[in-house]
Amino acid sequence: MSKSLQAIRGMNDILPEQTPLWRYFESTVAGLLDTYGYRQIRTPIVEFTELFKRSIGEVTDIVEKEMYTFEDRNGDSLTLRPEGTAACVRAVLEHGITGSGQVQKLWYIGQMFRHERPQKGRYRQFNQIGVEVFNLDGPDIDAELIVLTWRLWGLLGIRDAVTLELNSLGTSEARARYRDALVEFLSARLEQLDEDSQRRLKSNPLRILDSKDANTQKVLVGAPKLEDYLDEESRLHFDGLKARLEAAGIPFVINTKLVRGLDYYSKTVFEWVTDKLGSQGTVCAGGRYDGLVEQMGGKPTTGVGFAMGIERLILLLETLEQVPESIHRQVDVYLCAFGEQAELAGLALSEQLRDRLPNLRLQVNAGGGSFKSQFKKADKSAALFALILGDDELAQQVVGFKPLRGQGEQQNIAWDALAEHLEASFAQA
Ligand code: ATP
Ligand code: MG
């Protein structure tokens, strides 16, 4: 195939074999979020570039080198969204739904775009489900976000494979004081730092803490610790969160180097990580961003949220073999009809069945074919039962009812008794 007819590198098709798992995952999360009282918000995939620069921060990896930015026909600079929080904040501001202190508990799902080096668990188009809560500033809501993800891991059967890492970044004042101390310490050891970290020392020094470079990590052993700079308010908030997680029986580890890639976080930050996926081990990440709404032109409004990477969680479900068998059955019943008259009767009968049994997964043979070939298709469809309509059945107003998975013999069922017979058969199967 010529190159122009292939999908863009790092952007994947999700084929029919895989969509049942995606839908299972998505509906599990959506159902859970419903039960906790979160409501979905849908925002456009494209926004003004300025939105991401102002919210995520000019000197972050995302804005510096990962965004898909282009000029549209009006000459406006637009960007495919690299994450979901910025648009959420824009939307609540634009529609005034947080302005007088109203609490909003929101969630979103959708594609995100970042120009990164594609590899297992890291793509250029990827999918996230995220949650954002506005106007609740206590540790109770931070705890709720973590508790509900913990419940999700339980529902999905992956609890044993994930670990919660937790940190507090403090208020922005506390962080500024810490930043000064860190810069002073690292500036005296500049030549021992890797190139990226040297550059970040000016632009975004906190990010040096999660540098992957071994030498830089050695230097950091003796560096000032963020926890020693925490303000009283943040410390109390963090203690409140830890107490709640302990009460809920959720294990966690404190990772004082966890700073997150985005500029806007304050106080709580957390990541759910796994060692089962190689180096792309963070499956869900989030934190508090109390200053962001104001920074984007709104009234002071606290915020806290997280986003999970769907591709990584799907990979984890597959790796741990936690894909429920039941999600793959696409067909319950396959109807075979032989000849024009039988096809007409079969169509009428199948629509009657759909009226009576709206959830029945009924596949009607299309494209004709011999007895043998239709039967082969019925078998391949993985249906539990085949319905057979030929001249004899037509004359007697019955269908041949044939179990395909070895539960009993073929028998004739009258048309008007078919729905009930199917129900009873599925109850037994
Ligand atoms: P990483 O450190 O892995 O680059 P990040 O800090 O950039 O992650 P966030 O912006 O916090 O990631 O996004 C939340 C989650 O979305 C991540 O924890 C991950 O599961 C997923 N994610 C982020 N970038 C990608 C990507 N390029 N491909 C697939 N999933 C991603
Ligand atoms: Mg990243």
Three-class SS of residue 57?
coil
Pick the ligand that lies closest to the CA of residue 263. 1
Class of domain 19-171+231-319: alpha beta
**Residues contacting 27, CB < 8 A, separation 6+:** none
pLDDT confidence of residue 97: 96
d(CA 218, CA 408): 70
Query: Which residue's CA is minimally distant from atom 23 of ligand 1?
Result: 309
Q: In what order do the strands lie in the sheet with 162-168?
A: 39-40, 104-113, 125-134, 303-309, 282-288, 266-274, 162-168, 253-254
Q: What is the DSSP string of 333-402?
A: EEEEE-SHHHHHHHHHHHHHHHHH-TT--EEE--S---HHHHHHHHHHTT-SEEEEE-HHHHHHTEEEEE
122 CA from centroid of ligand 2 (Å): 9
- Give the residue ranges of the chain where pLDDT is below 50: none
pLDDT confidence of residue 328: 84
178 in contact with ligand 1, CB cutoff 6 A:
no
d(CA 147, CA 117): 33
114 CA from centroid of ligand 1 (Å): 9
Predicted TM-score (pTM) of the model is: 0.92
270 in contact with ligand 1, CB cutoff 6 A:
no
210 in contact with ligand 1, CB cutoff 6 A:
no
261 CA from centroid of ligand 2 (Å): 7
Beta bridge partners of 78: 48, 70
Give the Cβ contact number of residue 18 at 10 Å.
Answer: 13
142 in contact with ligand 1, CB cutoff 6 A:
no
Pocket test for ligand 1, best of 66, 68, 114, 282 (most atoms within 8 A of CB): 282
pLDDT confidence of residue 256: 87
Among the atoms of ligand 1, which is closest to the Cα of residue 272?
18
Are 327 and 20 in contact by the 8 Å Cβ rule? The answer is: yes
Query: Which residue's CA is minimally distant from atom 6 of ligand 1?
Result: 261
**Residues contacting 377, CB < 8 A, separation 6+:** 334, 365, 369
Pocket test for ligand 1, best of 65, 128, 149 (most atoms within 8 A of CB): 128
Are 107 and 77 in contact by the 8 Å Cβ rule? The answer is: no
Residue whose structure tokens are 């793959």: 328
Rounded to 5 degrees, φ, ψ at 148 are: -75, -30
269 CA from centroid of ligand 1 (Å): 14
Choose the CATH number for 329-423 among 3.40.50.800, 3.40.50.970, 3.40.50.20, 3.40.50.300: 3.40.50.800
Query: Which residue's CA is minimally distant from atom 26 of ligand 1?
Result: 122
d(CA 429, CA 89): 49
Query: Which residue's CA is minimally distant from atom 8 of ligand 1?
Result: 282
102 CA from centroid of ligand 2 (Å): 32
175 in contact with ligand 1, CB cutoff 6 A:
no
Q: What would you measure as the largest C-alpha separation in the chain, in angstroms?
A: 95
Among the atoms of ligand 1, which is closest to the Cα of residue 283?
20
Buried b / exposed e along 220-231 (16+ C-beta atoms within 10 A): beeebebeebbb
Phi-psi region of 428 (alpha: psi -120 to 50; beta: other; left: phi over 0): alpha
Q: Rounded to the nearest 10 degrees, what angle do helices 85-94 and 49-56 cross at?
A: 110
Among the atoms of ligand 1, which is closest to the Cα of residue 83?
10
Closest among 362, 356, 358 to 337, alpha carbons compared: 362
Q: Is 185 exposed, middle or buried (0-12, 13-18, 19+ CB in 10 A)?
A: middle
Query: Which residue's CA is minimally distant from atom 24 of ligand 1?
Result: 122
pLDDT confidence of residue 414: 97
- Please calculate the CA angle 395-400-405 and round it to the nearest 5 degrees: 170
Pick the ligand that lies closest to the CA of residue 124. 1
| Domain layout of the chain by residue ranges | 19-171+231-319, 329-423
Are 147 and 248 in contact by the 8 Å Cβ rule? The answer is: yes
pLDDT confidence of residue 2: 60
Alpha carbon dihedral 412, 418, 421, 426, in 10-degree steps, equals 110
283 in contact with ligand 1, CB cutoff 6 A:
yes
Count CA within 13 A, CB hemisphere, residue 199.
Answer: 7
d(CA 273, CA 17): 27
Pick the ligand that lies closest to the CA of residue 122. 1
